[in-house]
Copies of this chain bind each other. A is one copy, B any other.
Amino acid sequence: MNKRGDNKTPLSDLGKYGLIDHLCSELKISHKSTVRGVGDDATVIDNGNRYTLVSTDLLLEGIHFNLIYSPLKHLGYKAVIRAMSDIFAMNGTPSQVLIALGISSRFFVEDLREFYEGASSACEKYGADLAGGDTTSSLTGLTISVTAVGSVEKNEITGRAGAKPNDLICVTGDLGAAYAGLQILERERRLFEKDRQIKPDLGGNEYVIGRQLKPEIPAGVLAMLRGKKIRPSSMIDITEGLASDLMQICKASGTGCRVFSKNIPTDYETVRVCEEFNIDPLIPALNGGDDFEMLFTVPVELYDKILGIGEVKVIGHITEKGSGNFLVGADGTEVELTAQGWKK
């Protein structure tokens, strides 16, 4: 009944963001309350005094998490972090979270309690209420859909568009740790699957594993920026990877960029784990994703103000449209940044 044609376009031809652009290119916005639709981290709705922000996220077993090493409590926590991160990326604060779960019969009530404990603990930490949701059966894996609702002062909102040539490119915290943590967890999973008696050896890698399983949002840094009256000219949360997310900013803003590899912050534990796995730490920092740090741009005049915030690093600057997106190596060589294709 459904036809599968030969002349159809594979999803991989477009990549994730290309696909969303393509699907939504013809959508008409008719509600006067719809301020921004597809193409930013969250949907922006005008509610009079403030903007209401709504974002929705889907986590699927086998793609976004593996239950072998993701305790359900951590998974609930991370699922809520993912959705709230989009609200913070627009300089907003979350207020409500809704969760819909698709669950198979291999789960027990106690398992779901654990999940909800983690989810409500993330809500509590970042000041939101777990205020709705649904459960449904699933024939296959665990399916988690999280919707976060928040708000932002109208003059404080940030989006992907807005970066200007010469703006400084900044990141919070350090990058690539979540990917490094995943490498450890995957190695232990493979060993465990060969021999179920083996106890996982996670010692000494607590930081990177924690970043993978129970990430946090740099909400304190964002509050500090607001306190110093610094409104980023553009902002996005680093979920796909620095390269891909920075290219989103450049595309939306109509600019290019130069990023200096020596300035990209990585934790020493990330570097050590990467050495263990023979990976250049720059790779997970650029393409690892799931770090939930913030990537933002500010006018160059704010350089001194930004320097005063310890948890923010300036990693490059925005350039004119058409000048490309480049990574500048320690030796001055320039390599074009590439976004990952269709991955997750």
Contacts and interface: CB of A to CB of B under 8 A. Distances in A.
A61 B43 CA distance: 26
A192 B1 contact: yes
Interface string A115-153: 010001000100111111111111111010101010000
Contact of A109 (B13, B43, B61, B112): B13
B103 A11 contact: yes
Interface string A47-70: 111001011111011111001110
A115 B330 CA distance: 47
Interface string A20-55: 101110011111011011101011010111001011
A9 interface: yes
A229 interface: no
A184 B33 CA distance: 42
A225 interface: no
Interface in A60-106: 60-64, 67-69, 71-72, 95-96, 98-103, 105-106
A48 B67 CA distance: 42
Given A5-B108, A11-B107, A112-B19, A132 B62 contact: no
Q: How many copies does the complex hold?
A: 2
Nearest to A113: B23
Contacts of A128: 31
A16 interface: yes
Place the interface of chain A in its size category. 35 or more
A307 interface: no
B54 A132 contact: yes
Given A38-B132, A60-B138, A63-B102, A108 B33 contact: no
B52 A47 contact: yes
A102 B52 CA distance: 26
A342 interface: yes
A98 B47 CA distance: 17
A200 interface: yes
B113 A149 contact: no
A231 B61 CA distance: 43
B23 A112 contact: yes
A108 B8 contact: yes
A129 B2 contact: no
